[in-house]
Amino acid sequence: MRKHSVKFWIAFWSIAAVFLAGWYFFCEIKNQGMRSLEPTVNFLPMSQEIKDRFKAVACLSDEFLKNDGQEKVFLVLFQNNLELRPGGGFIGSFGILKIKNKRVISFNVYDTGNFDGRIPDITEPPYPMEKTLRIKSWKLRDSNYSPDFKVNAEKAREFYYMGGGEEEFDGIIAITANVLASFLKITGPITIEGYPGIYNSDNAVISLEHQVEKDYARQGIEKGERKSVMNELGGEIIKRISALNNSQKLKLIQIVIDDLNRKDIQLYFKKPELQKMAENLGWAGRVDENWEKDYLMAVDANLGAYKSDYYVKRSIDYSVDLTKEKPEAVLKITYNHTARQKDWMTKDYLTYLRVYAPKDSWLNEYKNSGVPRFGSEFGKKYFGFLVDVPLGQSRTIELRYILPKSVRENYNLLIQKQAGLNDTPVKINIKSKNGAEENYDIMLNKDFVLDSPLE
């Protein structure tokens, strides 16, 4: 019997979560389309925003679970956010999913490292990959270097064809390892006979990494059998999902929607109308190019620090002073490396941080980082820095920069979160033109808008 890797099973559970939601809705509406679903969703005790998102899931299901004889093909990118990248996490594997006449007809998963060997060494990697990762060419595993998923999806597709891939994709989906935890919120904790410990939504990913890399030897398990735990755990999860009642299935759908809102699942579609729907719902992982007021997005790329993002905790402090003729922003980002010693999973943290601000912003001062680099994209200005955080230490990066004068009028702020990075505490202080101050404390788990706070 073929044994699968951790990457395979994380991939399997993750994609199953997305399409279980769609399949459930398909079964409920019994081939009658969206109109038969709307009365049921409208009756449910939930906000209108959540109802609209349930309907959107159903609409996507209608599109891709048609009995129309047409094969639909998706590229699925599995991102390990324990090794954070701008688009969500290191792409250790990818899958090709094919659906036809309401059925999954094939789902094959490939090791990205093996596939990259087929890609010619002709693409110069973006700064500072060559230096930190010691690579001479940019390839699929590192393709998600943009904070914008549409850019990443198109770059991944480009590398796929450079490697000899032949499929034409109807869509591209990116999924972080957090989605495995989402499954376990519904199934509940799981124990596997013959293996110690309990797998739950808080510890599953790290426990599995440790089991197949370290613990198996102490348990007397042969190296060739070390991943057999995955077959057992996978079977138990599938069994529990199959036994969910309708109420639990609705909860699962809500969890999948939450993962979409958090950018743990990101969607890109070939059809413009579907892409537009995903963008309107915030499920396409786009950088907002139309926002014209104050803006902030902090984007990290873990470049050569193993799986250290499991241990690195971040917090953000953002202050804006509108009393000055030229508004001034002070941004502090604190990295706390909670690991105490180097091992197979972590070492000193190294990240390439890019801070996106309004396009006419001007950096005046920076502290506790490398020399800045500057660039412009998505209608924004960005400041880039190499940041190192030794084991067991904290480091606070401080930036002081001038904002465009236009932000003083009818002040609004948009903070966009990075995919793969959740539960970031953010403190906001806004000083109005007349000196009045407002303070806000938020947990950044989705894009956040502060709308005219001082009016």
Q: Are residues 36 and 175 in the same domain?
A: yes
Q: Report which secondary-structure segment, H or E, holds 444.
A: strand 437-444
- Assess whether 387 and 424 both reside in one domain: yes
- Determine, yes or no, domain membership for 135: yes
- Domain end, chosen from 247, 281, 315, is at 281
Residue 122 belongs to a domain: yes
Smallest Cα–Cα separation from 187: which of 28, 16, 420?
A: 16
| Domain-embedded: residue 289 | no
Residue 70 in domain: yes
Identify any residues that bridge with 172 across adjacent strands, giving them in sequence order: 75, 268
Q: How far is CA 122 from CA 81, 125, 137, in A?
A: 27, 9, 6
User: Does residue 287 sit within a domain?
Assistant: no
The answer on 21 and 146 residing in a single domain is yes
Give yes or no: residues 115 and 232 share one domain.
yes
Burial of 398 (0-12, 13-18, 19+ CB in 10 A): middle
445 with 369, same domain? yes
Domain that holds residue 342: 294-449
Name the residue type at position 342.
Answer: K
Number of domains in the chain: 2
Q: Pick the closest to residue 237 from 65, 10, 18 (CA basis).
A: 10
In a domain? residue 288: no
- For residues 138 and 101, membership in a common domain is answered with yes
CATH number at residue 323: 2.60.40
106: β partners: 98
Cβ neighbours of residue 183 under 8 Å, at least 6 residues apart?
13, 17, 237, 241
Q: Final residue of a domain: which of 281, 302, 317?
A: 281
Q: Are residues 129 and 233 in the same domain?
A: yes
Is 432 a domain residue? yes
Are residues 235 and 211 located together in one domain of the fold? yes
Q: 1 in a domain, yes or no?
A: no
CB atoms within 10 A of CB 220: 6
Instruction: Say whether both 185 and 38 belong to one domain.
Output: yes
Name the 3-class secondary structure at 196: coil
Do 344 and 234 fall within a single domain?
A: no
Domain boundary among 230, 258, 281: 281
Cα–Cα distance, 373 to 330 (Å, whole number): 18
- Determine the pLDDT at residue 39: 55
pLDDT tens-digit profile, the chain (455 residues): 344 444 444 444 444 444 444 444 444 433 444 344 455 555 555 566 666 776 676 677 667 767 788 899 999 998 989 999 999 999 988 889 888 887 778 878 788 888 999 999 999 999 999 999 999 999 999 999 999 999 999 999 999 999 999 999 999 999 998 887 888 888 888 888 877 778 888 887 787 777 767 777 777 777 656 656 655 766 677 678 768 787 777 777 788 889 999 999 999 999 999 999 899 889 999 999 999 999 999 999 999 899 999 999 999 999 999 999 899 999 999 999 999 999 989 999 999 999 999 999 999 999 999 999 999 999 999 999 999 999 999 999 999 999 999 999 889 999 999 999 999 999 999 999 999 999 999 999 999 999 876 65
Query: 141 and 11, same structural domain?
Result: yes
In terms of Cα–Cα distance, which of 83, 270, 106 is closest to 172?
Answer: 270
The side-by-side arrangement of strands in the sheet containing 103-111 is 103-111, 90-100, 72-80, 171-176, 265-269
Strands of 312-321's sheet in order across: 362-367, 394-402, 328-337, 312-321, 424-431, 437-444
The reply to whether 392 and 439 lie within a common domain is yes
